[in-house]
Amino acid sequence: AKSLTGYSNLCKIITRAQLSHEKGKAAASVEAINAHRDDLFCLSGCPRGEVPSLVAQGRLEEARVAAHKWIDVFGRDNFLIEMQNNMLPGTALLNSQLSELASELGLRCVATNNVHYAAKDDFKVQDVLVCVRTLTTLDDDHPLRKRNSEYYLKSPKAMANLFRRYPHALANTDWVANQCDLDLDLGTFRFPDFPLPEGETAYSYLCKLCFEALERLYKPITPPVMERLQYELKVINDLGFPEYFLVVWDIVQYARSKGIRCSGRGSAADSLVAYCLGITIADPIKHNLLFERFLNPERKGMPDIDIDFDAARRDEVIEYIYERYGTSLLNHTTTETATEDKVAMVCTVSTLKARSSIRDLGKAMGFPPDDIDRLASALPHIGGRRIREAIDKLPELRDLGRGCKSHADTSSAHPNILSRLEALVDICEKVDGFPRHLSVHLGGVVISRSSLTDLVPLEWATKGVIVSQFDKDDIEMLGLVKMDILGLRNLSAIEDALVHIKQHHGIDLDIDNIPLDDEPTYETLRSCNTVGCFQIESPGMRGLLGRLQPRVFDDLIAQISLFRPGPMQADMINPFVARRHGLEEITYPHPSLEPILRDTFGVILYQEQVISISHALAGFTYGQADSLRRAMTTDRSQEEMEKIKESFIAGALAKGVAKEIAEDVFSRLRAFAAYGFCKAHAASFAKIAYQTAYLKTHYPAEFLTGILNNEPMGFYPPNVIFEEARRLGIALLPVDINKSEARFTVECEPQMLRENFYPEACASPGLCFGEKGHPTHSPGIRIGLNQVKSISAAEVESILSARAARPFSSFADFCLRTKCERPTIENLINCGAFDSFGIPRGKLLWLAAEVRGRKSEVRREGACLLDVVDLDERMRDLPDGPQLSLHERVRMDYDILGLSTISHPMAFYREKLAKARVRRACEVWDMPDNTIVKVAGVVVVCMRPPTKSGTIAVFITLEDETGFADCVVFPKVYEKYGRVIFNSPALIIEGKVQKMGRACSIIANKVRPLSQTYRSDNTDIQPFKERLRIAGQRSFVRSSGV
């Protein structure tokens, strides 16, 4: 491209080539190129190009015709013959013929090197990656594989040597480069065109909206509030962002008008303007949030407003954006409309990490599949450069090589998989972070005033939507507006819960305006019974809740900010909790900082505090203070940090602050800035966290039904949420062909019997229960049809449609009136969906085969319609199948549904575990501190978060029928039992009870697998198969690295 015009044409050609063909088969037509040829050079290409390949085949006349075709498109000065010398047989002859052809046609020759990798040593890496791309191995031949290592970026001297016979080609290459003068005008903002009411400017309309909202939100409107709004509006206008805010407001306004729940997150919640526009939900005045953390006159970047939407309805919002700001809908019908569109999804570049590189490259390099899977499955989520580090540090990986097929030497006392796959790991280290494929960003939508393809090429994503070929950073660099339209399943769960509350209680609960001082809700938080609650359900969060004991909303904001890697590593949690409870004196480095640090008891916790401290102590403007904060969070040289320090201390001295105090404060700020959390972001998340805790406290059945209907989400899989409902005394109702809807539902029946409720397990004083552990509320949770394994949407619709006409009167009636396949019918039988008919499941399985055979006869022979009465009579003649034991039924439930209404699997181990003095989880909470105890359960969480000391500790959560037992395994014990921990789905852990506030955990000293010998029945069943966990699997192991 010679210029911006040429660059835009290049983007349009690429887009047409991509969108007019299937993904991965892009090809630009001559017509498309001809339509966008201005200010472009065209080279004839490598030896596989049209002209050179014809020349190489001796088809010179056809080569001349092809060259003339491109001369007609681009002109003689812009079409150039490309010569390459990769030192292959025939290259010299081809270049000689190309040079002659260029002379004959009056064209320039240019010298290039067809670069595929940067350095010569990267040839092997590139070769393996080509095999990955073409689904071949190094033993296979493929035309895309290079025949030598000469396809790298060569120096001018090397190129001059290769083309010493063609000095004019080198000169022409330099001439082409000098002709290309592209200026993308980086730093210019390109806002979308917001349609304004007549007579309004973007700024005047923004002011109008904000002042109207101010009257509604603040009564009375105090001078500080008015001044704050006027100041923010001025800054926004001075920076040129009114249109941006109006676009965001428009999108949020549409969502709210359609009943789509949404909430802004991040530093945008620091803004009163954003709050007035309904973009954010946290009151910046009430929570003392600082606007300058979001925007200030000295910050020149694009504002970043991320918005969470109800995940179930996010696509409606995206479709609105296409209709409002684009030229066509999300799925374009023609390439022409797509290339002129102003809206597209933003791509994200998925990169190779340890696991993916082991799998992809291992297959290409021909290693045994079992060895590849063994290593890839065991590795935590880390980069390829850390594979050796992980194997050296993690005990469960050290003996991984034992039994590997590719290992011949077993003489080592500690066989290591690296000795088998050394070459593979070498390559994986080199490709760490390499692009793997393009995918759709979680929520990024780019909106432009003019056609996007003026600046960005587009292509198809695997999901069938159109995405930009540039990621979010490149989009922002070009000055285009990127909206983060994120889907948050917790918002979907809240909305579902509100619908159920309306249906069963007749209450239109305004969840956005519930009181933030509801004592039962805080009691639920203090009890640590927060499974299912947004942001505060993980074992670590539950433990911190037990220590912090929140009583006001600001405590919840602090809770979300404290439980982060940085504060944990800096040991900020202990002093904060001690000061919160009056166990440690509250001190301030300087009296001027007391107003800033009072709410956090003298502890620097929020990024906003860094800005305020720099302003108060060193006299920085808020813009300068924010620049200081950002400078501290970026890797800086010691020299640069000293200059920043000198500036800070000089400012403090000018305000009369002692040098020692200024240096002390700066060192604290510097230590904090790397891990500080944005208070506005925490406040936004705290509001949603509080709403979910409120719903769990007052409407647990409705809330947990909402959670189950929106899985996967949060920290736990559906079976854990289901067991939580059981422990809360909520009736768990099985799949019923006449009662189950597509999704989980809430049913209220007075005769519900909580026969599987464990009253001793409930540790939530915030929930109200009647006598003998029975809850005073009656709703139960009915499993939906969608939960049945392998059932299709069409089959579910068939069942619901037939039932809408009339309920199913019998199993035969169901079979004849629905379009379910036999495997689905068998799964429905085995999970008890037909139990209400009172017929043994064994007979139903026989009849299912009979009905299928009769249906086939009807279709094949045109026989009379099947008769329900006849089939019901046939039922009496069918034999009974073997009766399943209770344990087998639970296992069947888990195989088909992933959960069970009958009981927790650990109930079948309890009798023998009790004899072995293994305690239930609920009993541990009542034990004194430092008591030695044994617990057993299914592993639901197993992770290695970063620690202050840098050593590796493992945090395990076991679940039994009464609740959770949170265990901590320190390095010495982990070193001994690491292999057991990460290769056993259920464990027995012995250790010492540790209590901190109302938090309770077990410090492990012994770990062993839960043996089958503890089962109370003798049937040959493999329990927990449905929960089998490979180290690193999402629902059970969340490794944060080594």
- 772 has a pLDDT exceeding 50: no
- Tell me what pLDDT residue 696 has: 97
Rounded to the nearest 5 degrees, what angle is found at the Cα of 483, between the Cα atoms of 481 and 488? 170
CA atoms within 13 A on the CB side of 609: 29
* Mean pLDDT of the region 249-278: 95
**DSSP symbol at 49:** S
- 41 has a pLDDT exceeding 60: yes
Q: How confident is the model at residue 1013 (pLDDT cuts 50, 70, 90)?
A: confident
- 947 has a pLDDT exceeding 90: no
CB 548, CB 560: distance < 8 Å: no
**pLDDT (tens digit, 9 = 90+) per residue, 488-502?**
999 999 999 999 999
* Mean pLDDT of the region 179-206: 91
Tokens 């600082």 belong to residue: 290
Amino acid at 38: D
Kindly report the average pLDDT of the chain as a whole number: 86
Give SS3 for 530.
coil
- Tell me what pLDDT residue 343 has: 92
- 647 has a pLDDT exceeding 60: yes
- Tell me what pLDDT residue 854 has: 59
* Mean pLDDT of the region 376-381: 88
**DSSP symbol at 384:** G
- 1017 has a pLDDT exceeding 50: yes
**pLDDT (tens digit, 9 = 90+) per residue, 677-730?**
899 999 999 999 999 999 999 999 999 999 999 998 888 999 999 999 999 999
| pLDDT, greater one: 849 or 709 | 709
- Tell me what pLDDT residue 935 has: 96
- Tell me what pLDDT residue 810 has: 87
- 620 has a pLDDT exceeding 70: yes
Rounded to the nearest 5 degrees, what angle is found at the Cα of 6, between the Cα atoms of 5 and 12? 90
| pLDDT, greater one: 676 or 969 | 969
- Tell me what pLDDT residue 443 has: 84
- 293 has a pLDDT exceeding 60: yes
Distances (CA, A) of 131 to 13, 124, 137, 175, 356: 28, 11, 6, 37, 15
- Tell me what pLDDT residue 867 has: 58
* Mean pLDDT of the region 255-265: 94
- Topology of domain 905-1027 in CATH is OB fold (Dihydrolipoamide Acetyltransferase, E2P) (2.40.50)
Say what the pTM is: 0.87
Which tokens belong to 286?
Answer: 């009430």
Which tokens belong to 887?
Answer: 């344990």
- Tell me what pLDDT residue 874 has: 65
CB 820, CB 798: distance < 8 Å: yes
Task: Specify the length of the chain in residues.
Answer: 1042
**pLDDT (tens digit, 9 = 90+) per residue, 727-753?**
999 999 999 999 999 999 999 865 444
- 1034 has a pLDDT exceeding 50: no
Tell me which of 316-330, 360-374, 970-984 is least confident.
316-330
* Mean pLDDT of the region 414-433: 79
Q: Considering Cα of 202, then 322, then 681, then 950, what sign does the dihedral take?
A: negative
Question: What is the C-alpha to C-alpha distance for residues 666 and 618, in angstroms, rounded to an integer?
Answer: 10
- CB neighbour burial string for 94-123, b if at least 16 within 10 angstroms, e if fewer: bbebbbebbeeeebbbbbbbbebbeeeebb
Least Cα distance to 560 among 569, 571, 550 occurs for 550
Q: How confident is the model at residue 799 (pLDDT cuts 50, 70, 90)?
A: very high
| pLDDT, greater one: 304 or 263 | 263
CB 678, CB 606: distance < 8 Å: yes
Tokens 């396949």 belong to residue: 821
- 411 has a pLDDT exceeding 70: no
Question: What is the C-alpha to C-alpha distance for residues 712 and 725, in angstroms, rounded to an integer?
Answer: 17
| pLDDT, greater one: 816 or 924 | 924
Question: What is the C-alpha to C-alpha distance for residues 448 and 271, in angstroms, rounded to an integer?
Answer: 24
- Tell me what pLDDT residue 408 has: 43
- 330 has a pLDDT exceeding 80: no
DSSP alpha helices (H): ranges in 258-393? 272-276, 314-325, 335-339, 354-364, 369-378, 387-393
- Tell me what pLDDT residue 873 has: 66
- 887 has a pLDDT exceeding 70: yes
Q: How confident is the model at residue 301 (pLDDT cuts 50, 70, 90)?
A: confident
- Tell me what pLDDT residue 853 has: 59
Report whether the peptide linkage leading into residue 220 is cis, meaning its omega lies within 30 degrees of zero.
yes
- Tell me what pLDDT residue 756 has: 47
**CATH 2.40.50.140 boundaries in the chain:** 905-1027
Biggest CA–CA distance in the chain, Å, is 102
**pLDDT (tens digit, 9 = 90+) per residue, 349-361?**
999 999 999 999 9
Rg (CA), the chain: 33
* Beta-sheet pairing, 481-488 with 435-447: antiparallel
- Tell me what pLDDT residue 339 has: 52
Tokens 């690491």 belong to residue: 978
* Mean pLDDT of the region 611-623: 90
Q: How confident is the model at residue 815 (pLDDT cuts 50, 70, 90)?
A: confident
CA 811 and chain centroid, separation: 43
**pLDDT (tens digit, 9 = 90+) per residue, 510-536?**
999 999 999 999 999 999 999 999 999
- How much of the chain exceeds pLDDT 70, in percent? 86
- 768 has a pLDDT exceeding 60: no
- 573 has a pLDDT exceeding 90: no
* Mean pLDDT of the region 378-406: 77
- Residue 571, Ramachandran bin (φ over 0: left; ψ between -120 and 50: alpha; else beta): left
Rounded to the nearest 5 degrees, what angle is found at the Cα of 341, between the Cα atoms of 260 and 240? 70
CB 764, CB 524: distance < 8 Å: yes
Give strand pairing partners of 944: none
Tell me which of 148-157, 188-197, 212-221 is least confident.
188-197
- Tell me what pLDDT residue 462 has: 78
